[in-house]
Chain A
Amino acid sequence: MGDERLELPQGTLDLLILKALALQSLHGWAISERLQQISREALQVQQGSLYPALHRLERRGWIKARWAISENNRRAKYYELTRQGRKELEVEMLAWRKLAAAVGHVLDMA
C-alpha cells in the first residue's frame, strides 16, 4: 500500500478539484495544470493523487465524466460538476471558510 505523499489533506484536494471544475469541464491534465496555476506558490499538488481523487468524486456522484475530442484532435476524458457536486462545492467552501476563519481567530488571540 503506497503512502501518498500528500501535503494536502484529502478533503482539500477534492475541494480544489470541484472548484477548478466549477467554471468549465476539463480533462485530467488540464485540472492538474489549473490547480498548479492557482496554487503554484502555496501548494504542492502531486499529479499522481489527482486521478484517484477523480474516481472517488465520480463514485460519490459529484462529478461525471465523458469522452470527447480535445483541441489537439485527441480523445480525452472530460470531467464536469453534477448538480449535486455544485451544491457540495458550496457547502465545502462555506465549511472551509468557517474553519479557516475560526483557526485564524484562535491564532490571532494568542
Chain B
Amino acid sequence: MLSDMLYRLRTLFRRRAMDGELDEELRDHLHREAEKYRRMGASDEDAMRRARMALGGQEQVRQQCREARGTRLLEDFIQDLKYGVRILGKNPRLTAMIVLSLAIGIGANTAIFSVTSTLLLKPLPYANADRLTILWLRSPGIGIPQDWPSPGQYHDIKTQNYVFEDTAIAIGDDYILTGVPKAMKLDGISASSSLLPMLGVKPLLGRTFLPGEDKPGSPLTVVLTYALWEQTFGGDQNIVGRSITIDEKARTVIGVLPREFKLNHEVVPTVGGIDKPEIFLPLPMDAKDEQDYGSENFNILARLKPGVTMQQAQADIDIIAARLREEKHRDPSFTISVVPLIEQVVGNVRTAVLILFGAVALVLLIACTNVANLLLSRATARQKEIAMRTALGAGRRRVVMQLLTESVLLGVLGGAAGLAIAAGCLFAVRQMHPGNIPRLDELGMDFRVLAFTFAVSILTGVVFGLAPAIRAARIDLNATLKAGGRGLSNGGLNVRRDKLRGALVIAELAVSLTLLTGAGLLVRSFVRLVNVPPGFNPQGVISMQVDADTAKYAKPGQVIQFYESLAQRVRSLPGVSGQGTVSALPLTPAVGWGFVYIEGYVPPKNQPELQVDYRLASGDYFGTMQIPLVQGRLFSTEDTEKSPPMVLVDEKMAKRFWPNGDAVGKHIRHNETGPWLTIAGVVGVVKQYGLDTDTRMVVYFPLSQRPDNTMFLVARTTGNPASVADAIVQQIRALDPGVPVYDVAMMQQRVHDSLARQRFAMTMLGGFAFLAMILAAVGVYGVMSFLVTQGTPDIAIRMALGAQRGSILSLVFQQGMALASIGVAMGLIGAFSLTRLMGNLLFDVSAKDPLTFVGVALLLTLVSMSACYFPARRAMGVDPMVALREE
C-alpha cells in the first residue's frame, strides 16, 4: 500500500520525464516491430505501417498508461487548476469581483465562527472543564429564579451526594491591602482548600491551600494572582513566605497563581459582585457554619465523577433538595440546580451568538448566489469553448469537474482574502469591547478557525459552482457551434426564460429580507430600551466606590463621621451642585437585601418571609440622582442615630402594600422582634439591575441610622467631569489615604455600558443585514443588466416597431419588480417563522412587529427598484439601428 502511494507520488512529480520515457519505449517497440517485418521482406514503409497497426493508437496507449499509473484524477486536477488560473487571470475584473464578494462572505463567517468557537466550543481553561458544575438555588414559585446557596446546604451536598468527585464553597468580597504606598482595594475569593486543586491550578510559585488549611484556627495565608504579584509586588521571586497586610491582618503569602489563571465574575458570580479576584484566602468553616442554612451568600462548585452525566447529578441533588425542602420548610418550588460551568459562562449569550452565526451564514449564502449568477453569465459567454471541448471528446463529468475546479479555486482565493477581512473584524470586535460578553478576551484565530475557513472556502466553491457547471455541461452541441460566436440563450426580454437565475435572485432577496427583519426588530427593541426611563437622571453625575473599612471605622459613629466629613469636602468643591452616597448604585453589581415585616400584614401560609432590596443612602442622594420624591419627605440632617428610626420605600413597594397611597407614616421592621421603623416618604422606582430587568421592592435606610463602610459616592457636576472626579478622589485621599477609591465612572457611562450586549447584537446583526441587502441589490442589478444585454436585439426590434422609450423602461422595471415581489413575499414568510427564535433578545417588541415587517419589505422593494434603474436606463438608451446591425 505504502509503496503504491510512493509510486503514485513519484509519478506525479516525474510526470514529464515518465511521459518522455514512455515515448522512447514505444518508439523502440515500433522500431523493433518494423525491423521484424522488414526481415520478413516488407518494404520500409510497409513494415512501419504494419508495426503501427500492431501496436494500435499510440495516443490511446499513452493515455491508458497514464491511467495505469493511478494519477489520472490528480493530473486532470492539476491541468484544470492551471487552466483555471489562466482563465481567471484573463478576466481580472470579474475575478476580483467574485473574490471580493466571497472574501466578504467568508471573512464575516470566519470572524463570527471564531467568536462562536471561542465562546461555545473552546473548553474553559480548567482541568476536566467539562465535568465542572456550579450549583444554584431556585424558587421560581416565589419569584426567585436564582439564588446563592448557604454553608449548611454545602455541607449537606458535600456529605450526601453520590455524584461529585469534589466540591468547593467560595464567597467573594472586597479586601483592603495596606502596607503598600497607596491603600488598595482588592477583589478576593475566600474558598475551601478544595477549590483551586479542583480547577486544576498549578501554582507558579509556592503552593495552593492544603486540605485542612481551611479549618478555623489555621495560620492566616493568602495566594496571589499573577497580575497582583506582578503589578503590586513587582514580580518578587521571593514573595512566598512574605507577610502582607490584608484587612489589617498579617497574612503569609504561600503561592502565586500562573498568569493564565482567571476566575472571573462570569465564571463564578459571587455575591459581592467582584469582577476579577486578585487574592484567594482560605474560608474557615466550623461545626456551627455547617448548620448555617440562612446565609445564602456562597457559591458551590463541584466536579462530577468521571462517567456521571449532568442528568444523573441533577437527579442525585434533587433528592438532597427535596430533603431540604421538607426539613427547612422551603417553598414548594425550591430546587437546587446543577449547571455545567460552561453553561454558566455562555448560557445567556448562546442564543445571540447562534443567531449571529446563522445570520452570517445567510450572508455567505447570498454572496454565493451572487457569484453563481456571475458565473452563469460567464458560462453563457463560454458556451462555445465548452461545446468545443465536448466535441473533442470531453465527457460531461470532465467538463463539470473543470468548471468546479475553477469555482473551488475562486472559493479558496476568496477564503484567503476572507481571512484578512476576518482578522480585521476581530480587531474591530475587540476594539468595540462589548463589556459584558464573556470570554471575549480569549478571542483569536486558532486551528479550528483556520480549518473552518478552509472547509467553508471549498464548500463555497462547490455550492456556487455546481449549478452553473452542471448547466454549462448540459449544452446543446450542434446549436451552440452553429450559432458561432453569438450567445445562444437569446431569450429576449423575459426573466422567466432564465428560471435558474431568477430563482437565485428571489432566494437572495428572501434571505436578505429575513436578515433585515431580524436586524430591524433588534433596532426597534434597542430604541425602546434606550428610552426606558432609568428612574434617575444620569446626566452629569459622577460616581465612585469608597471603602472605609479599616479599624478606624469599626464603630458606627466613626464611619458616619467619615462620610459626613467627606460630604462637606465634596460639597464645597467648585463645579459640584449636589452629592450623596448609596450602598448599591443602580447598574453596578452591588446588591443588598433583607427580610421585611410589615405592620398589619401577615404573609400567606407556606410562603417564605418577605424579602426586599435594602439600600442605605446619605446626603442628598435622591436629589443628586434626581430620583423623584413621590410622597412624604426625604432624609434630612435631622435624622440621626438618636432620632426615631425612619426609612423610605420605593413606589413599587408602596403600591404593593399601601395601594391607597397612604404609605407615609406606616411601619415596617426587619425582624420579628426589632423596633418599628416609620416610613417617612415614597421615592420613584429605579432600574437597579438593568434597563430591561424588573426591579424589586426597595427600602432605603439613612446611613446615619444604619451605617455601612462601603458606599458609592455620587456627585452632580456642571463642570468638566474628569477634573471634578479627580478633585473628589483627592479630597478622599486627603481625608484618609488608607481608604481606597475605585470604579470611578460617569452614570451616563454606566447606563451606556449596561446596554453593551444589546448594542453589540444589534450592530452585528444590523451590519450583516446591510451586507446582505447590498449583495442582494448587486444580484438584482446583475440579473437585470444581463437580461438587458441578452435582450438588446429584442429591445431594438420593439423600438424599431415603434415602442416608446418609456414603455421599454417600464418593461425592464416590471421584470425586475416581478422578481423582487416574489423575493419579498417569500422573505416575509421566512422572517415570520425565523424571528420567533429571537424572542429573548427582544425588548418590548413583538417578534411579529408589523411595523418592522412592513418597513423592511418597503426598504428592500425600494433597493431592488434602484438596482433595476441602471439596467433599465441602459435598455432605454439602446439605439435600434446599431443593435440590429450588430445582429
Residues of A within 8 A of B (CB): 1-2, 4, 27-29, 32-33, 46-49, 51-56, 58-61, 67, 74-77
Chain B residues contacting A60 (CB-CB under 8 Å) are 4
4 closest Cβ contacts across the A-B interface?
A48-B56, A55-B68, A52-B64, A52-B68
Given contacts A59-B4, A59-B70, A74-B28, contact A49 B64 (CB under 8 A): yes
18 further contact pairs, Cβ within 8 A, besides A28-B25, A48-B64: A1-B395, A2-B63, A28-B28, A29-B29, A29-B33, A47-B29, A47-B55, A48-B55, A48-B60, A51-B22, A51-B25, A52-B67, A55-B65, A55-B68, A59-B68, A61-B7, A67-B21, A74-B28
A8 CB to closest chain B CB (Å) equals 15
The reply on B484 being an interface residue by CB < 8 A is no
Q: Is the interface of B mostly helix, strand, loop or mixed?
A: helix
Given contacts A2-B60, A51-B64, contact A59 B8 (CB under 8 A): yes
Chain A residues contacting B63 (CB-CB under 8 Å) are 2
Task: Count residues of B near A (Cβ-Cβ below 8 Å).
Answer: 30
Q: In the bound complex, do residue B28 and residue A58 qualify as a contact, i.e. CB atoms below 8 Å apart?
A: no
Find residues 1-42 in chain B having any chain A CB closer than 8 Å to their own CB: 3-4, 7-8, 11, 21-22, 24-26, 28-29, 31-33, 36
Task: Give bound CA distance, A59 to B26, whole Å.
Answer: 19
The reply on B69 being an interface residue by CB < 8 A is yes
Task: Give bound CA distance, A2 to B477, whole Å.
Answer: 22
Q: In the bound complex, do residue B4 and residue A77 qualify as a contact, i.e. CB atoms below 8 Å apart?
A: no
Most chain A beta-carbon neighbours within 10 Å: one of B4, B33, B60: B60
A-B contact pairs, 15 of them (CB 8 A): A1-B395, A29-B32, A33-B36, A47-B29, A49-B64, A51-B65, A52-B61, A52-B68, A56-B68, A58-B7, A59-B8, A60-B4, A67-B21, A74-B31, A76-B25
B210 CB to closest chain A CB (Å) equals 64
Find residues 437-459 in chain B having any chain A CB closer than 8 Å to their own CB: none
Most chain A beta-carbon neighbours within 10 Å: one of B25, B31, B69: B25
Task: Give bound CA distance, A60 to B31, whole Å.
Answer: 29
Q: In the bound complex, do residue A48 and residue B68 qualify as a contact, i.e. CB atoms below 8 Å apart?
A: no
Chain B residues contacting A47 (CB-CB under 8 Å) are 29, 33, 54-56
| Chain B minimum-CB-distance residue to A36 | B54
Task: Give bound CA distance, A2 to B587, whole Å.
Answer: 79
B275-312: CB near A (< 8 Å → 1, else 0) gives: 00000000000000000000000000000000000000
The reply on B217 being an interface residue by CB < 8 A is no
Task: Give bound CA distance, A53 to B580, whole Å.
Answer: 96
8 Å CB contact of B69 from A1, A46, A55, A67:
A55
B17 CB to closest chain A CB (Å) equals 12
Given contacts A32-B29, A61-B3, contact A48 B57 (CB under 8 A): yes
Chain B residues contacting A67 (CB-CB under 8 Å) are 21
Task: Give bound CA distance, A58 to B65, whole Å.
Answer: 11
Given contacts A51-B22, A59-B7, contact A76 B28 (CB under 8 A): yes
B608 CB to closest chain A CB (Å) equals 81
8 Å CB contact of B61 from A29, A51, A59, A75:
A51
Task: Give bound CA distance, A77 to B24, whole Å.
Answer: 9
Task: Give bound CA distance, A8 to B344, whole Å.
Answer: 71
Q: In the bound complex, do residue A51 and residue B26 qualify as a contact, i.e. CB atoms below 8 Å apart?
A: yes
Find residues 44-89 in chain B having any chain A CB closer than 8 Å to their own CB: 54-57, 60-61, 63-65, 67-70
A105 CB to closest chain B CB (Å) equals 35
Task: Give bound CA distance, A55 to B7, whole Å.
Answer: 10
| Chain A minimum-CB-distance residue to B7 | A59
B315-342: CB near A (< 8 Å → 1, else 0) gives: 0000000000000000000000000000
